């Protein structure tokens, strides 16, 4: 699975040393407890590693758990660290991520609560709820 990972300035995460081009394996993967963690959405890495003091890379996460939390953070038993991409690379990757995950089709038409008249019931921000 293509994901993105943050590291400290020394390419470490929680004391574990990483190196671009290397693959690492752990026996278990448990979200926020064990295994290798990375985010599907590139900008979610900022929730864990601040931009001013961190480094970032595209990584391949394998043997991934189905568990999820509040964002796109995932955990796997195996990780391959790709090239370091930095903040400009994260932004570019995020634009592509959004393009791939955007649809113009309604997945649940019942979610629209005010038809075409949402702005009339909620001011200028109501168009976001109109179907």
Residues 6+ apart with CB under 8 A from 39: 3, 4, 5, 45, 47, 48, 71, 72, 73, 74
Is 80 exceeded by the pLDDT of residue 3?
Answer: yes
Strand-pair partners of 17: 12
pLDDT for 129 equals: 55
- The pLDDT tens digits of the residues spanning 17-42 come to 999 999 999 999 988 899 999 999 99
- The pLDDT tens digits of the residues spanning 57-107 come to 999 999 998 888 889 999 999 999 999 999 999 999 999 999 998 887 766
Strand-pair partners of 73: 39
The model's pTM is: 0.77
As a whole number of angstroms, the distance between CA 39 and CA 71 comes to 8
């Amino acid at each position: 699975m293509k994901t993105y990972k943050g590291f400290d300035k020394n390419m470490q995460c929680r004391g574990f040393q990483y190196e671009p081009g290397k693959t690492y394996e752990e026996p278990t993967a448990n979200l926020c407890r064990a295994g290798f963690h990375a985010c599907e959405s590139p900008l979610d890495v900022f929730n864990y590693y601040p931009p001013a003091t961190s480094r970032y890379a595209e990584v391949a996460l394998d043997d991934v758990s189905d568990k999820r939390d509040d964002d796109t953070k995932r955990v796997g038993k195996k990780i391959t660290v790709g090239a370091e991409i930095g903040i400009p690379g994260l932004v570019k990757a995020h634009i592509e991520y959004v393009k791939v995950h955007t649809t113009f089709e309604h997945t649940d038409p019942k979610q629209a609560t005010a038809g075409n008249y949402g702005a009339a019931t909620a001011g200028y921000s109501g168009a976001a709820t109109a179907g």
